[in-house]
């Protein structure tokens, strides 16, 4: 229309919009904190809804033809004198939005890699660029091709969270893989836009989408 008059919203779109609103979680299905997080993070909400509602688009891969690319280089972390999961839980479980009670020394009895106090590691995060789901094995295969990569699992989660949490992108979940195969749980840190964090466990066998990024670690010599 001319003279700056607003264009009319098509009837089919109004019907679609109403249908979407009708399917939103009702009070009792969603808690106030989660609702307020989404309300204050329109960018993340805008990213999630098209993924759920629109047909998948074909996108080009990176120049190396990989399904994953570097999201951020967080710099270097230093291994402290103690790396107890129980001690980490005592420091943080009561301060976070959510902390999975299954994250204890007893639940992680064996380490995927032995770290020594004073060791220095570079922390990077990688994101998925393909619109489809990817598997834990595909993500691990990508990490294996990164120079000097080591798999740290919960140790990596603790190091990255305690020393780099202020730099984590809001609205993202960061997984830290420990092993090449298996049905074990994968530690994950979720950073909310309001500054809150979750530390939870995901299943190795479950697929991942592009909202879930993952850490990569390598020694600094």
Q: What is the pTM of this model?
A: 0.70
Q: Which domain holds residue 111?
A: 68-219
The answer to whether residue 10 sits within a structural domain is: no
- Give first-to-last CA distance, the chain, whole Å: 65
CA–CA distance, 121 with 75 (Å, rounded to integer): 8
Q: For residue 147, with 0-12 CB atoms within 10 Å meaning exposed, 13-18 middle and 19 or more buried, which class applies?
A: exposed
Q: Are 57 and 64 in contact (CB under 8 A)?
A: no
Q: How many domains in the chain?
A: 1
The answer to whether residue 28 sits within a structural domain is: no
The answer to whether residue 154 sits within a structural domain is: yes
Q: For residue 18, with 0-12 CB atoms within 10 Å meaning exposed, 13-18 middle and 19 or more buried, which class applies?
A: exposed
The answer to whether residue 95 sits within a structural domain is: yes
The answer to whether residue 204 sits within a structural domain is: yes
Paired strand residues for 69: 127
The answer to whether residue 51 sits within a structural domain is: no
What pLDDT tens digit does each residue of the chain (221 aa) get? 445 555 688 888 888 888 888 778 788 767 776 676 667 656 556 656 665 666 544 444 444 457 899 999 999 999 999 999 999 999 999 999 999 998 988 888 766 688 999 999 999 999 999 888 999 999 999 999 999 999 999 999 999 999 999 999 988 999 999 876 555 889 999 999 888 999 999 999 889 988 899 999 999 98
The answer to whether residue 52 sits within a structural domain is: no
The answer to whether residue 54 sits within a structural domain is: no
């Amino acid at each position: 229309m001319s003279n700056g008059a607003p264009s009319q919203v098509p009837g089919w779109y109004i019907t679609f919009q109403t249908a979407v609103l009708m399917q939103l979680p009702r009070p009792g299905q969603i808690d106030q904190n989660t609702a307020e997080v989404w309300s204050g993070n329109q960018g993340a909400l805008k990213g999630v809804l098209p993924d759920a509602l629109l047909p998948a688009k074909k996108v080009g891969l990176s120049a190396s033809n990989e399904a994953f690319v570097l999201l951020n280089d967080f710099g270097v972390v230093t291994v402290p004198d103690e790396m107890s999961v129980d001690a980490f839980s005592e420091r943080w479980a009561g301060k976070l939005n959510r902390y999975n009670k299954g994250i204890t020394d007893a639940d992680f009895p064996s380490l995927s890699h032995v770290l020594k106090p004073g060791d220095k590691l570079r922390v990077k995060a990688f994101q998925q660029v393909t619109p489809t789901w990817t598997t834990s094995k595909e993500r691990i295969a990508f990490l294996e091709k990164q120079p000097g990569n080591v798999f740290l699992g919960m140790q990596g989660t603790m190091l990255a969270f305690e020393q780099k949490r202020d730099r984590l992108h809001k609205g993202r979940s960061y997984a830290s893989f420990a092993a090449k195969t298996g049905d074990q749980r994968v530690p994950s840190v979720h950073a909310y836009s309001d500054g809150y964090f979750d530390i939870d466990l995901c299943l190795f066998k479950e697929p991942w989408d592009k909202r879930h990024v993952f850490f990569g670690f390598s020694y600094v010599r």
